[in-house]
Amino acid sequence: MKRTTIITLSVIWFSLSIQAQPARYISADEAVEIAVKNNSNVKLSELDSKIANANYHETDAVFLPQITVGYTALSTNNPLNAFGFLLQQESVTAMDFDPAKLNNPGASQNYSTQVEAKIPLLNMDMIYARKGAKAQEEVYRYKAARTEEYIEFEVRKAYTQLQMSYQARGILQKSLEDVKQIHQSVNNFYNQGLVQKSDVLNAQVQVNIIETALTKAESNIYNASDGLCLLMGLENNDDVYIVDSLSQEQGLYQHRELSTFRADIMALNKAVDATNMMVKASQMAFLPRINAFGSYGLNDSKAFKFRNDSYLIGINLSWTIFSGNQNRSKMKSAQFQRDKMQEELDLHVKKEQLELDKTKRDLNDSQTEINKQKVSVEQAGEALRILANRHREGLASTTDLLMAQAQLSQQKLLLSQSIMSYNITEAYLDFLSKTK
């Protein structure tokens, strides 16, 4: 009796605690919308996409000039450099050609301001490398989109599990009411001397079992609510979410097919394009490069004086005829990488097609299971009704009645689990057949 009282009080405490906790209704679509904005995995994928974008813009140097500004202070007694300083400062006089001064110029200073520019004109390997970086940026953009789709599936899965937790609690609460009524009826029969003490004890044991299961069901509501909160990227403040009732959500997903425009498949296609661009870039490395350069300088014998300007401009053509097989090996490596990526794409498509077909079969199996469970619930309910009538007339044992009631509760739970499995499978099929 003491153990029964403890279990009963624990059930009451859980029920009151859920009512006392802040609770608010949330729909599946709202949960998905919050998760897409706040989920950590989504944020990480967006950061990867931004990193790829920054890496792509590094290749702007293929077209944009590089400009460097510098200020240099020099002092020397080297005859050659000292005379060069005079030339740069445009201050050479006839006296500077005195052999004694040329040989022993003393300490000479030069303060130079330089502006240098390098302008790329034609670098075919870098142009294709830029195209490869652009394709790589698109890879991460599609990966980010696929991550959002996966989080949407996980949220809908967690939402369905929370619905199941509430459904299980409702079924157990109704079962507890029925078993308590049976216990009360059996206790009355015992007081009248119509049944034995063992019947009363069996009924009490069944009450204890259901109260224990109900306690776990209450905890499962908290656990499922916390899981949904985590997926939505919100702080866990012990809020309990109220959700829609669990019901079968039939759609047209079973008629969908695998699309080559699905985000992850598009990401692999772009990865193949990126490796193909790297192959072309390695091939273009055998061609000459053409670049322009120029500099503008100011030279003076005193610090922070800016006189005597000069400039230098030119065009450079360079052609690496032989690089010790380095370029050839890079080209081979890029080709193998492209072939590997193509194989990964083909294998991924095949595996996803198999997964899609399997999920369709799983969905059909779940529907069959739901149909069977609905019939089982009706049959179990009818069996309980018949045994309850016979028990009141003293024609059925208490054990048979309790078994019939337990069977009905079990079939209801199995039906709810089948509906949950169907909804999750349908959400997964939607995830597999997404298109962008």
Calculate mean pLDDT across residues 225-251: 87
Model pLDDT for residues 84-95, shown as the tens digit of each residue: 887 887 777 888
Rounded Cα distance, 381 and 317, in Å: 91
- Given a contact cutoff of 8 angstroms between Cβ atoms, the answer to whether 115 and 295 are in contact is yes
Strand order in the sheet with 289-300: 66-76, 108-122, 289-300, 309-318
Question: 3-state secondary structure string, 211-265?
Answer: HHHHHHHHHHHHHHHHHHHHHCCCCCCCCEEECCCCCCCCCCHHHCCCCCCCHHH
What pLDDT band is residue 7 in, cutting at 50, 70 and 90?
Answer: very low
Cα distances (Å, whole numbers) of residue 372 to 26, 83, 94, 323: 31, 104, 114, 73
Record the tokens describing residue 414, joined without a space.
Answer: 């199995």
% of the chain exceeding 90 in pLDDT: 58
What single-letter DSSP state applies at residue 59? G
For residue 17, pLDDT over 70 is answered with no
Q: Mean pLDDT in the chain?
A: 88
% of the chain exceeding 70 in pLDDT: 94
This prediction's pTM: 0.83
Rounded Cα distance, 61 and 35, in Å: 38
What pLDDT band is residue 22 in, cutting at 50, 70 and 90?
Answer: low
What pLDDT band is residue 324 in, cutting at 50, 70 and 90?
Answer: confident
pLDDT at 11: 45
Closest CA to 410 of 433, 428, 383: 383
Residue entry with tokens 């985590």: 230
Chain-centroid distance, C-alpha 397 = 57
Helix axes 40-58, 28-38, angle to 10 degrees: 40
Rounded Cα distance, 303 and 299, in Å: 10
pLDDT at 276: 94
Q: Which of 249-253, 386-390, 408-412 has the lowest mean pLDDT?
A: 249-253
Closest CA to 353 of 276, 262, 278: 262
What pLDDT band is residue 27 in, cutting at 50, 70 and 90?
Answer: very high
For residue 19, pLDDT over 60 is answered with no
Question: Which domains does the chain possess?
Answer: 2-38+123-285+325-432 (1.20.1600.10), 65-122+288-319 (2.20.200)
